[in-house]
Chain A
Amino acid sequence: MRHPAPEKIALFAGDDLGRWQHWRVARHVARCAGCRDEVQALRVAGVQLRELTAELYNLPAELPKSLNWNRLAQEMTGNIRVGLAAGEAIALFDKPSRIKHRLGWNAALVLLGATAVFAVAFWTSLPPQQAEHLRASLQRIRTERIGTLVHSAPAPASEDVILEASSSSIQVRENGRAMSLIPHSDGATVSVSIDGSAGVRFVDADTGQVTTNQVYYAQQ
């Protein structure tokens, strides 16, 4: 269990804490016998002090009549507050990392939560192909930065020219531009060659001729 600082216990005993702090310390004191005893002791000391003050106040002649005990008490209380505030300030100065850390963690948790919600919403709203592409890109970045995966390498620079073959078209794709050859038939046969060509073969619906559309890398 974490106990309130002694100065807070003292201020609580004197009923001098703010509402929020008062509630927190009261909650602790209700469950902690040690702190409860300390509060009790402080309160008793406070009562004794007030009784002693009264006796002093009633003393004749030895003390100046002009002494304003109420004002003195206020000044003392003020000094105590200033002292406590200064102590807190020094404590803050002594343990900056801890306070900042706590604030940082809170902010980080909030940020992390918001990011997670955004990421999940974004991911689920993506079409599967785009999601897969994004996943691959993130993995690529991770590998480049951390380098933990083996047997993986960044895509070669020459990947900017891609040949694509499906039964509905073949395509050369390059920097967002594309040239496609489209079979004039259903039931086309796809073929590719590892030397850098892709093709689709079909019987032309109009002419009945066997036609093969192919795409190649330009250097070939």
Chain B
Amino acid sequence: MRSSSALLASALFLVPSNSALFGAALPKIDLPPDSPVVLLSADYGESNEMPRGGAMLLDVHAALSLRNTSQRKISGITLLVTAQDVTPGGKGSVTVTSLAVGPQETFPVRIDLRLLRPLQASSGVPVQISLDGVLFDDLSFYGPDKLSSRRTLTLSEWEARRDRRYFKSVLAAGGPDKLRREMLQSLTHQADRPSLDVEVVRGARATNFEPEKQVQFAFLSLPDSPVEPMGGMARIAGNEARAPRLEVKNRSDRAIRYLEVGWILQDRSGREFLAGSVPAELNLAPGQKSQILGDATLKFPQLGGQPLGIEGMTGFVSSVEFADGGVWIPTRTDLDAPRLQRVVAASDEEQRLAQIYRRKGLPALIAELNKF
């Protein structure tokens, strides 16, 4: 009896305490008074904190329930997540797209967050959650837009509309069987698409010591693109790509204020990956040329346990925002080009529709498409 008590005491001593979060340790949710959404409830059921070495690990699992208090349908929302005491140099966001939340309807937003902070950290609120923006179905926007959420949500909504139109046309032209085939093909593509882990290091200076070389961009031509890439290069050192420099020309008759170029990398064995994007805010009049300079380094630690050796690069224009607020995105036909199809991820909406098909079947998918 005595020995078993001692064992139990030892076990209690050795196992790190894993306690639920209370009070000040919980995130502070801050929505403006005129916000089109209000917080109905916040459930932190499985949140906990536990010591790990000389640090404290906070696991925050927040299931928020929000209500649309506006008179318009909500298409997307972005919440800003900051942990000022832990990472003052960085911040996060959680964006939910492809929504169709009518007035007075409620919808969930789930935030799974982990903080690693020193044991001696201040006892203040570790995490603040605030609203960065809400996009409505008429493409109007509410919010401080500190993270350019308006643009992100608008582009996503345009893609959603494009893909819903496409799948509805597939259903109309080929019936449920054709739609099923499309969904199976989409699920296969999502599963087969190569994915990379990436580190973003601010500043366009190499951080490794392999010999550096300049590699020229090749470009995929998208016939309808309002922007024509003229040339470009980036510096490559082993598994790092940095300082991309692109020259583009506005070949449309509208001024452009933002564009994004997708960046495909090719490794030594010829495999291709969508490494990231090179965005640029500019003022590009019709017919005008401009240079885009990137100021960060992308590091690709490993691929399947092997270091990635970058050998070639390809760029393509992935989105454009005009000065009048309109946007351009590639068409489904553009994206069906074999090289793009291999590396570009399915849109938010296509992923959502494919999951509905996978979980609930074809009738549920058809019902979902008919909502729009």
**Are A172 and B99 in contact (CB-based, < 8 A)?**
no
- 0/1 string, B196-233, CB within 8 A of A gives 1: 11111111011111011000000000000000000000
Asked if A182 contacts B113 (CB within 8 A), the reply is yes
Q: Could you say which of A88-96, A102-110, A195-203 contacts chain B?
A: A195-203
Q: Which of the candidate stretches A16-24, A58-66, A119-127, A149-157 sits at the interface with the other chain?
A: A149-157
Residues of A within 8 A of B198 (CB): 164-166, 190, 192, 198
Q: Is the CB of A179 within 8 A of B114?
A: yes
- Contact residues on A (Cβ < 8 Å of other chain), bracket: 35 or more
Which residue in chain A gives the minimum CB-CB distance to B111?
A: A181
Question: Given A179-B87, A217-B90, A218-B91: A194 and B351 within 8 A (CB)?
Answer: no
B202 touches A194 (CB 8 A): no
A153 CB, min distance to chain B CBs, angstroms:
5
Does B88 have its Cβ within 8 Å of any Cβ on chain A? yes
Please state if B244 and A161 are interface contacts (CB–CB under 8 Å): no
Residue from the list B92, B109, B202, B237 in contact with A159, Cβ < 8 A: B202
Whether A191 is near chain B, meaning CB under 8 Å from some CB there, is: yes
For B81, list chain A residues within 8 Å (CB): 179, 181
State whether B201 touches A201 (Cβ < 8 A). no
Residue of B92, B349, B359 touching A215 (CB-CB under 8 A)? B92
Query: Which residue, of B89, B99, B296, has the highest number of chain A Cβ atoms within 10 A?
Result: B89
The docked-state distance in angstroms from the alpha carbon of A216 to that of B200 is 10
Report the stretch among B14-22, B274-282, B283-291, B333-341 that lies at the interface. B274-282
Interface band, chain B: 35 or more
Kindly state the separation between the CA atoms of A126 and B88 in the bound complex, as whole angstroms.
Answer: 32
Q: From A139, A149, A182, A184, give the contact of B114 (CB < 8 A).
A: A182
Q: How far is the CB of A213 from chain B (nearest CB, A)?
A: 6
Q: Which residue on A lies nearest to B358, using beta carbons? A: A203
Cα of A216 to Cα of B296 in the assembled complex, Å: 12
Q: Of B95, B191, B276, which is within 8 A of A214 by CB?
A: B95
Q: Which of A156, A194, A211 contacts B276 (CB 8 A)?
A: A194
Query: Is residue A163 within 8 Å, beta carbon to beta carbon, of the partner chain?
Result: yes
Which of B32-40, B115-123, B171-179 is the interface stretch? B115-123
Bits for A183-194, please: 1 = Cβ < 8 Å to B, else 0. Answer: 110010111111
Residue of A nearest to B298 (CB): A192
Q: Which residues of B contact A170 (CB under 8 A)?
A: 92
Q: Which of B116, B202, B208, B209 is close to A161, meaning CB atoms less than 8 Å apart?
A: B202
* B208 contacts across to A, CB distance below 8 A: 136, 152
From B199, B207, B244, A194 is in contact (CB under 8 Å) with B244
A174 close to chain B: CB less than 8 A: yes
* B44 CB, nearest partner CB in chain A, Å: 15
User: Within the assembled complex, what's the spacing in Å between the Cα atoms of A23 and B211?
Assistant: 58
Among residues of A, the one whose C-beta sits closest to the C-beta of B302 is A129
Chain A residues, Cβ within 8 Å of B277? 191-194
- In angstroms, Cα B110 to Cα A206, docked, is 9
Are the CB atoms of A187 and B191 closer together than 8 Å?
Answer: yes
Q: Is A160 interfacial (CB 8 A cutoff)? A: yes
Set of chain B residues within 8 Å of A180, measured between Cβ atoms: 113-116
Closest-CB distance, B211 to chain A (whole angstroms):
6
Q: If A194-B263, A210-B98 touch, does A220 touch B87 (CB 8 Å cutoff)?
A: no
Q: Output the least CB separation between A180 and chain B (Å).
A: 4
Q: A216 and B90 in contact (CB under 8 A), knowing A156-B203, A163-B200?
A: yes
CB distance from A78 to the nearest CB of B (A): 67
**Nearest A-chain residue to B202, judged by Cβ:** A158
A43 within 8 A of B: no
Q: Is the CB of B348 within 8 A of A201?
A: yes
Decide: A179 and B90 in contact? CB cutoff 8 A: yes
In the complex where A143-B209, A162-B199 touch, is A189 in contact with B345 (Cβ < 8 A)?
Answer: yes
* Cα A179 to Cα B91 with chains together (Å): 8
The CA-CA distance from A163 to B54 in the complex, in Å, is: 23
> Which chain A residues lie closer than 8 Å to B186 at the CB level?
none
Query: Which residues of chain B are within 8 angstroms of A161 by Cβ–Cβ distance?
Result: 87, 89-90, 202
A190–B197 CB distance below 8 A = yes
A207 touches B279 (CB 8 A): no
Bound together, the chains give a CA A182 to CA B92 distance in angstroms of 11
Q: Which residues does chain A contribute within 8 Å of B95, judged by CB atoms?
A: 211-214
Interface string of B168-191 (1 = CB under 8 A from A): 000000000000000000000011
In angstroms, how far is the closest chain B Cβ from the Cβ of A134?
A: 13
Residues of chain B within 8 A (CB-CB) of A208 are: 352, 355-356, 359
- B292's nearest neighbour on chain A, judged by CB, is A194
Contacts of A182 in B (CB 8 A): 112-114
- Given that A181-B81, A210-B348, A216-B92 are known contacts, is A192 also in contact with B87, CB under 8 Å in the complex? no
User: CB of A36 within 8 A of chain B?
Assistant: no
- Sample (20) of A-B pairs whose CB atoms are under 8 Å apart: A155-B201, A158-B202, A162-B200, A162-B201, A164-B197, A165-B197, A167-B197, A176-B55, A178-B114, A179-B116, A183-B112, A184-B110, A193-B277, A194-B295, A198-B200, A209-B96, A210-B96, A210-B351, A216-B147, A218-B91
B contacts, CB < 8 Å to A: 55, 81, 83, 86-99, 107-118, 147, 190-191, 193, 195-203, 205-209, 211-212, 237, 244, 260, 263, 274-279, 294-296, 298, 345, 348-349, 351-352, 355-356, 359
Given contacts A184-B110, A210-B97, 12 further A-B contacts (CB under 8 A): A152-B237, A156-B202, A162-B200, A172-B91, A179-B83, A179-B90, A189-B345, A196-B296, A206-B108, A208-B356, A211-B96, A215-B90
